[in-house]
């Protein structure tokens, strides 16, 4: 699984329970992650991304900052649109990097992920 942010906090308990029940849990995560850290509860497979942790944190702060910004509806709408587009582009870039990572894809195929 790859989910960064608040959904990641929710899923950690599920991963721990799966591990306790004897399942092998594999987490596929970007090398730059705000919340996902290695754990004894799962095997972590890392893939590279074309941005830094600082860039992704800045984009997230911009996104949440726009929500509380003053201004007209249209000004906030277009700022939120641009901020959402940046975060979405990061997500698309991550998917592209996973698909280009031949070793990771081979591992996932061989393990019937």
Domain boundary assignment for the chain: 7-111
pLDDT along the chain (113 residues), means of 10: 61 87 90 84 90 87 83 88 89 90 93 82
- The count of C-alpha atoms lying within 13 angstroms of the C-alpha of 101, restricted to the half-sphere facing its C-beta, is 21
Q: What is the pTM of this model?
A: 0.70
CA 12 remoteness from chain centre: 14
| Rounded Cα gap, residues 46 and 5, in angstroms | 17
């Amino acid at each position: 699984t790859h989910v960064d942010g608040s959904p990641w906090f929710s899923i950690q308990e599920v991963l721990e329970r799966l591990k306790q029940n004897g399942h092998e849990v594999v987490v596929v995560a970007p090398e730059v992650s705000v919340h996902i850290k290695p754990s004894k509860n799962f095997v972590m497979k890392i893939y590279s991304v074309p941005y830094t942790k600082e860039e992704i944190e800045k984009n997230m702060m911009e996104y949440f900052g726009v929500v509380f910004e003053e201004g007209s509806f249209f000004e906030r709408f277009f700022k939120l649109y641009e901020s959402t587009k940046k975060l979405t582009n990061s997500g698309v870039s991550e998917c592209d990097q996973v698909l280009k990572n031949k070793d990771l894809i081979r591992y996932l195929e061989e393990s019937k992920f």
